[in-house]
């Protein structure tokens, strides 16, 4: 049981100061910009909530947001079940466990732009391993710089390659925490594989899976570098996800007002969905 | 070998293929890369690696990255340790709100912060220093470190603290000589995650540096933009960025699964 002690604030103070410096000041800058119009030369004009209204009604924002939800949705639908399936078939003990874990964690430690560049050379139609294989061995026309569908398949495959291991490692951590006695009891009761999965493994993995879903949601919703390096948002705008569009507006066109308003809306959406996951998670902790 | 081990084997093959391609390409000559498809390097060359290890603009990229990543790791762990202890042991006014607020910083898209960070750090005069990138990465690494350490600390029974105090230990002495050694796996895992997220991030690192502290990931973009001509060099630079990560994972291999679960299993 935790004891009540207000002096604990002193322990939290360094974290609080550092994060406040890093988070509050920049956020206030963004809020400030979001309500003003600038034509350069550091001249600003009051805009009020005008930008917010404009962004919320803009077709461009709706399209980017739609693509973002499609991307994140596909990522969760593919990576979560795939990750659980791989974790279930991994060895529990012995020499191969650390080997598997190290090899699986490897993609996550590669800088994000290297991931994009790597997939770029991997999928080049005539000289990349995957591009050559699909075009010349399977005979399917595949060029992600021309075909939006191919570009989507590529960014999804890249993310599955990059992050499924996170789900695997989390589910695996949940699985190895199940005592052998549970399985023995299930065997005595003559439980089928399905009921072992449904009534023993899933409940034990529930906590770690919530973390997995939360992390995968946050990171795939904020993804920028990998798809930017891989497709640059193209062909056309077909893979322009929310943060790619945001950086285009903020740094490409230097439209600070709309970009700031868009940032805040973007952040609010991420926050809202994450908060839903977080409440689910802490509700489980209580039970 | 069991039949079901086919699944992890296939998965690992899928993970290794793009990495193999990157490594293979780094040993090819530019001519060979552009002239057509070859599964293995036909004329094996180390030219790309020679360029990287002899050109200061290249190898300083690696040194810069390693400096700010280490700096970030030290800062994040140092401030996260006491905070995580407070969250795991005490109830205090606003603790739950504060914990969630910390986590929200992990959710902010880096793209949102790029421009304000640039202005803030320019204003305090640390633009283009290793400290700037290290501090910026604290935004998402401190919350993560607090979260992980709190998980590991909550697994340590409170009786440990009480016994130590009863034995006459002062708080600092208990914390440094008993408590930290007890949760050293957690500290290792937290440090690993700080390393990981600081090492892989590019957007903020690139925005906050110009010349003096330019990270390797930003140096690489100069070959990526001149597409096609220096693919071998790009591949070699990419291959070298994988090595530090591989070394770090090796050290935490026994705790990696528990670590990814933030100590919460």
Whole-number pLDDT of residue A83: 93
Q: Mean per-residue pLDDT for B22-42?
A: 81
A231 — pLDDT class (breaks 50, 70, 90):
confident
A5 and B264 in contact by Cβ < 8 A?
A: no
B160 touches chain A (CB under 8 A): no
User: Quick check: B79 pLDDT over 80?
Assistant: yes
Q: Which domain holds residue A236?
A: 61-286
Whole-number pLDDT of residue A40: 60
A36-38/A3-4 β-pairing: unpaired
Whole-number pLDDT of residue B108: 75
Taking residue A33's Cβ as centre, other Cβ atoms within 10 Å add up to: 25
What are the structural domain ranges in chain B? Answer: 1-45, 54-260
A121 touches chain B (CB under 8 A): yes
- Which pair of structure tokens corresponds to residue B193? 């995650």
Does some domain include residue A25?
A: no
All residues of chain A having their beta carbon less than 8 Å from the beta carbon of residue B95 are 8
- pTM of the predicted model as reported, rounded to 2 decimal places: 0.86
All residues of chain A having their beta carbon less than 8 Å from the beta carbon of residue B25 are 121
Whole-number pLDDT of residue A281: 66
More confident residue, A153 or A143: A153
Whole-number pLDDT of residue B226: 46
Alpha-helical segments (H) within A222-286: 225-231, 242-247, 256-286
Whole-number pLDDT of residue A28: 81
- Which pair of structure tokens corresponds to residue B33? 């890369």
A156 — pLDDT class (breaks 50, 70, 90):
very high
Q: How much of chain A is helix, strand and coil, in % rounded to 5? A: 75, 5, 20
Report residue A38: phi and psi, to 5°.
-130, 145
Closest CA to B136 of A23, A263, A24: A23
CB B194, CB B76: distance < 8 Å: yes
Name A80's Cβ contacts closer than 8 Å, sequence gap at least 6: A167, A209, A212, A213, A216
Nearest to B202 among A112, A130, A169 (CB): A112
Whole-number pLDDT of residue B260: 66
Separation of first and last alpha carbons in chain B: 28
B251 — pLDDT class (breaks 50, 70, 90):
confident
Partners of A4 in the β-ladder:
B91
A224 and B217 in contact by Cβ < 8 A?
A: no
What percent of chain B is predicted at pLDDT more than 90?
Answer: 14
Name A227's Cβ contacts closer than 8 Å, sequence gap at least 6: A116, A155, A158, A233, A239, A241, A244
Residues 67-86 of B with CB under 8 A from A: 75, 78-80, 82-83, 85-86
How far apart are the C-alpha atoms of B180 and B164, rounded to whole Å?
13
How far apart are the C-alpha atoms of A201 and A189, rounded to whole Å?
16
User: Quick check: B265 pLDDT over 70?
Assistant: no
A107 — pLDDT class (breaks 50, 70, 90):
very high
Cα–chain-centroid distance for residue A57? 26
Taking residue B45's Cβ as centre, other Cβ atoms within 10 Å add up to: 17
Which CATH number goes with the domain that contains A246? 1.10.3720.10
Name A135's Cβ contacts closer than 8 Å, sequence gap at least 6: A125, A126, A141, A142, A143
Give helix B216-225 / helix B56-89 axis angle, nearest 10°: 130
Whole-number pLDDT of residue A287: 47
Does some domain include residue A4?
A: no
CB B192, CB B262: distance < 8 Å: no
DSSP state of A9: H
All residues of chain B having their beta carbon less than 8 Å from the beta carbon of residue A271 are 104, 107
Longest dimension (CA), chain A: 78
How far apart are the C-alpha atoms of A172 and A182, rounded to whole Å?
16
CB A9, CB B94: distance < 8 Å: no
Per-residue model confidence as pLDDT tens digits over B205-224: 888 888 777 888 777 776 65
Most confident of A76-80, A224-228, A235-239, B94-98: A76-80
A284 — pLDDT class (breaks 50, 70, 90):
low
User: Quick check: A184 pLDDT over 90?
Assistant: no
Among A75-79, A197-201, A211-215, B254-258, the range scoring the smallest mean pLDDT is B254-258
All residues of chain A having their beta carbon less than 8 Å from the beta carbon of residue B85 are 11
The Cα angle at residue B46 between residues B223 and A117, in degrees rounded to 5: 30
Identify the closest residue of chain A to B77 by CA–CA distance: A15
How far apart are the C-alpha atoms of B4 and A35, rounded to whole Å?
58
A200 touches chain B (CB under 8 A): no
Q: Report CA-CA distances (Å) from A107 to A128, A154, A162, B183, B233.
A: 19, 16, 5, 27, 20
Closest CA to A82 of A149, A166, A154: A166
Whole-number pLDDT of residue B261: 65
B92 touches chain A (CB under 8 A): yes
What percent of chain B is predicted at pLDDT more than 70?
Answer: 92
Nearest to B18 among A12, A118, A208 (CB): A118
User: Quick check: B109 pLDDT over 80?
Assistant: no
ipTM: 0.84
More confident residue, A163 or A275: A163
Tell me the average pLDDT of chain A: 83
B139 — pLDDT class (breaks 50, 70, 90):
confident
Nearest to B7 among A86, A101, A259 (CB): A86
B113 and A26 in contact by Cβ < 8 A?
A: yes
Instruction: Tally the domains of chain A.
Output: 1
B36 and A126 in contact by Cβ < 8 A?
A: yes
How far apart are the C-alpha atoms of B251 and B244, rounded to whole Å?
11
Tell me the average pLDDT of chain B: 83
CATH code 1.10.3720.10 for B54-260: yes
User: Quick check: A185 pLDDT over 90?
Assistant: no
């Amino acid at each position: 049981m935790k004891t009540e002690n207000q002096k604990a604030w002193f322990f939290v103070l360094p974290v609080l100061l550092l994060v406040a410096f890093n988070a509050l000041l920049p956020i206030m800058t963004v809020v400030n910009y979001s309500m003003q119009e600038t034509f350069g030369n550091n001249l600003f004009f009051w805009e009020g909530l005008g930008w917010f209204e404009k962004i919320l009604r803009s077709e461009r924002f709706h399209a980017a947001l739609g693509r973002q939800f499609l991307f994140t949705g596909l990522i969760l639908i593919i990576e979560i079940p795939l990750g659980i399936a791989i974790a279930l078939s991994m060895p529990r003990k012995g020499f191969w466990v650390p080997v598997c874990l190290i090899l699986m964690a490897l993609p996550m430690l590669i800088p994000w732009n290297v991931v994009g560049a790597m997939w770029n050379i991997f999928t080049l139609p005539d000289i990349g391993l995957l591009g050559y294989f699909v075009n010349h061995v399977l005979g399917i026309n595949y060029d992600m710089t021309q075909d939006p569908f191919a570009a989507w398949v590529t960014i999804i495959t890249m993310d599955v390659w990059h992050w499924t291991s996170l789900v695997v490692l989390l589910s695996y951590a949940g699985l190895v925490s199940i005592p052998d006695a549970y399985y023995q009891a299930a065997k005595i009761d003559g439980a089928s594989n399905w009921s072992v999965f449904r009534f023993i493994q899933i409940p034990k993995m529930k906590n770690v899976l919530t973390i997995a879903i939360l992390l995968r949601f946050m990171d795939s919703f904020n993804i920028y570098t990998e798809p930017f390096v891989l497709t640059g948002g193209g062909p056309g705008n077909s893979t322009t996800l929310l943060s790619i569009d945001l950086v285009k507006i903020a740094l490409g066109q230097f439209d600070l007002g709309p970009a700031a308003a868009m940032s805040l809306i973007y952040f609010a959406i991420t926050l809202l969905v994450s908060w839903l996951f977080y409440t689910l998670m802490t509700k489980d902790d209580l039970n | 070998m069991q039949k079901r081990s086919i699944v992890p084997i296939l998965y690992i093959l899928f993970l290794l293929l793009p990495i193999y391609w990157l490594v293979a390409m780094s040993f090819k000559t530019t001519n060979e890369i552009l002239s057509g498809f070859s599964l293995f390097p036909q004329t094996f060359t180390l030219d790309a690696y020679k360029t990287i290890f002899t050109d200061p603009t290249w190898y300083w990229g690696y040194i810069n990255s390693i400096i700010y990543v280490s700096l970030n790791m030290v800062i994040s762990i140092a401030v996260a340790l006491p905070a995580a202890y407070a969250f795991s042991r005490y109830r205090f006014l606003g603790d739950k709100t504060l914990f969630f607020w910390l986590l929200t910083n992990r959710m902010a898209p880096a793209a949102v912060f790029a421009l304000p960070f640039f202005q803030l750090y320019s204003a305090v005069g640390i633009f283009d220093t290793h400290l700037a990138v290290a501090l910026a990465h604290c935004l998402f690494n401190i919350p993560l470190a607090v979260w992980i350490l709190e998980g590991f600390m909550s697994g340590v029974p409170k009786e440990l603290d009480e016994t130590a105090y009863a034995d006459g230990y002062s708080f600092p002495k208990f914390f440094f000589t008993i408590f930290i050694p007890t949760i050293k796996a957690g500290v290792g895992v937290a440090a690993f995650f700080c390393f990981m997220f600081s090492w892989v991030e590019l957007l903020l690192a690139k925005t906050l540096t110009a010349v003096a502290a330019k990270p390797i990931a930003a140096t690489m973009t100069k070959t990526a933009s001149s597409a096609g001509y220096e693919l071998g060099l790009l591949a070699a630079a990419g291959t070298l960025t994988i090595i530090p990560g591989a070394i770090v994972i090796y050290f935490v291999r026994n705790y990696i699964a528990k670590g990814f679960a933030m100590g919460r299993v």
